[in-house]
Structure 1
């Protein structure tokens, strides 16, 4: 049996330059060739500047293009990208953190009370009585592992699934809620023109 070069009428001296190493190398790149072109933390920081919202949006758009069509998950990603784009355009900093009192008062749910086959929408792991992980329910009835939900609530005063608001200690948020309660007609005018 002839080798590859003989079968394709190629002389070993005509071997092409390796794409990975940049010099004359054999046709079988090894792991070091990949490490030589792989991004390092230094080069990654040079490519993406902190606070570059455009890079973040391009990242999510690239993810969206690679995800197969799963209906609801595709719609969720569309909503997330739309929300990020709107926040970038408006200069908004996003939802404030949930109040510490609200987070502390989250109910603990027995895993046995959760329908079988249900999973946490954050980590996608099924709730299991064998795993020592407590679950909790938001006022909107969405169920999460407490370890998944609390970090989200420490940054946002909304359900991570449906965006229903929960109380916040943020002074700007409290002032906005007070204005909404004092001027319900104004809020209706803003909504319906």
Structure 2
């Protein structure tokens, strides 16, 4: 029977360190290896990776596939734990990433702005509730504090920084509610500006109609 990774044309990053049956249902932290996460596809040795702040090149097909692999490791753990709701959530993210990989990200949202990612707030552990967990990896903050720290988006959703930053380097929205955050993409900036101008024009027209009604 084909595995989830085979069905979705993904390399199984968990193959070499799959847990035995005695601890498959353990609540221990999965700890995927992020040391080489999402390297750039260009060959310039001085080029920055998207996981480094200030990356200049646009995401490529491999960037979306590597993030899909990372989320696939979380998804496989949730399958072992029987959390079907979170499996479905991760399935949707993985499917989106694989679709974007095929289109080189051209039909999806642009990356979040570098300044937004750089200025993500650090949330003290005492400010999260006892049962709060990262929306992406589903790890409880109190039980498994991320080495990179906890952060939250303007929509008030909390994440481990090492889970949300790779997503934001490909998408300028929250993976849970899809609320947008700023982007450096000129097409996105123009679209937002045009929408704001249209809104102001509509409001001015309403005010003028009210004045002369």
The normalised TM-score by structure 1 is: 0.51
Report what 2:188 is aligned to. Answer: 173
Structure ID, larger Rg: 1
**Counterpart Cα distance in 1 of 2:116 and 2:200:** 29
Report what 2:151 is aligned to. Answer: 136
Report what 1:153 is aligned to. Answer: 168
Aligned partners of 2:122 and 2:149 also within 8 Å: yes
Report what 1:116 is aligned to. Answer: 130
Shift of 1:147: 1.0
Task: Give the alignment partner of residue 110 of structure 2, picking from 73, 96, 111.
Answer: 96
RMSD of aligned residue pairs (Cα, Å): 4.1
Alpha-carbon distance change, 156 to 104 in structure 1, aligned in 2, over 3 angstroms:
same
Alpha-carbon distance change, 123 to 155 in structure 1, aligned in 2, over 3 angstroms:
same
**Counterpart Cα distance in 1 of 2:107 and 2:169:** 15
**Counterpart Cα distance in 1 of 2:158 and 2:111:** 19
Q: Matched residue pairs, number?
A: 127
Report what 1:182 is aligned to. Answer: 197
Q: Deviations over 1:25-57 (max 9, x none)?
A: xxxxxxxxxxxxxx9xxxx9xxxxxx7xxxx9x
Shift of 1:185: 8.5
Report what 1:162 is aligned to. Answer: 177
Aligned partners of 1:106 and 1:138 also within 8 Å: yes
Gaps of 5+ in 1: 1-38, 45-50, 57-62, 188-193
Shift of 1:93: 1.9
Gaps of 5+ in 2: 1-5, 12-60, 62-67, 69-74, 203-213
Aligned partners of 1:112 and 1:129 also within 8 Å: no
The normalised TM-score by structure 2 is: 0.47
Alpha-carbon distance change, 185 to 84 in structure 1, aligned in 2, over 3 angstroms:
farther
User: Which SS does the other structure have where 1:183 is aligned?
Assistant: helix
Report what 2:49 is aligned to. Answer: none
Shift of 1:128: 2.9
**Counterpart Cα distance in 2 of 1:124 and 1:173:** 31
Task: Give the alignment partner of residue 119 of structure 2, picking from 102, 105, 122.
Answer: 105
